[in-house]
Amino acid sequence: MSGFLSGEAFAVDTKTSGTLTGLRWGSASDLPVLALHGWLDNASSFAPLASHLSGFQLLALDLPGHGHSQHRPPGMRYHLLDYVPAVLEAAEGLGWESGLIMGHSLGGAIAGLVAIAAPERVKAMILIEGLGPLSESETKLPGRLRNSVEGYARAQTRSSPVYPDIEPLIATRARIGAMHETSARLLIERNVREEGDGYRWRSDQRLRLDSPAFLTEPQVLACLEAIEQPTQVLLGNEGLLAERDTLGPRLDALDSNDVRWFDGAHHLHMDQPEVIAKAAREFLSQFG
């Protein structure tokens, strides 16, 4: 799309999640930054930011089931914790043995878990509108498990719909995500494929199904307290985290020395890439 750098496509094989794809910006001689997108987004989430991050090699991964990456086999689920080995295996395949991670939303939650599971692999992190995974009370687990099993059973007999026009999909994504239409277009164009006289989702339908279990809030706080790497947190004043009661305790648990607020909603890194890139450069330049 006009105004954004075209990323170089890549594919990497993993043991746990098949072939994962992504986009690469920058030179191989630049400082590499592994970028993890949010739920139902894809590697194009970082295209606007890449245009303003010269001097860094941005390796944006399509998470399993997202974008052009392989779907999990029939009968398998998409659980948060399963993303961790997938990311580590993909990073190794890309030659990223240790370094910097940038994560947005779900990608931020995954980045934190990667930093805990393999601390020697992560030097520092940037979390954009993401500070730990979603949580809920343990009392909700029985109902959540029941709904998840029923949902997956129904999904086995459901086929992905074909849409005659891509424009309504873009407009809906922009409205629901409270993002600019240009940002929504980037995400949708990578997340659909042409089929016959219309468009079908590339992303796995099972990503929309209920998870069988969430962490509890004490478990999330314990995870954040376990993160020892320098971490920058970038939040939007109109973002999803701004009004959550959990935000203050989570920030305290992480104990970051670099928490910044910006005007913008959940996809502020796409809608305001210059501002976010400036903050990211200031942080990342410490580790070059």
The residues that are catalytic are 105
Neighbours of 88 (CB within 10 A): 19
Q: Which amino acid is at 65?
A: G
What CA–CA distance (Å, rounded) separates 222 from 254?
A: 9
Q: Rounded to the nearest 10 degrees, what angle do helices 217-226 and 247-254 cross at? A: 30
DSSP state of 55: T
The strand pair at 122-128 and 231-236 is best described as parallel
AA letter at 200:
R
Tell me the two tokens of residue 79: 């659980």
- Who contacts 52 (Cβ-Cβ below 8 Å, separation ≥6)? 273, 274, 277, 278
The structure tokens 């990073």 sit at 91
Burial class (CB in 10 A: 0-12, 13-18, 19+), 139: exposed
- The helix (run of H) or strand (run of E) holding residue 8 is strand 8-14
Confirm if 87 and 113 have CB atoms less than 8 A apart: no
CB 103 within 8 A of CB 126: yes
What's CA 163's distance to the chain center, in Å?
25
d(CA 68, CA 86): 15
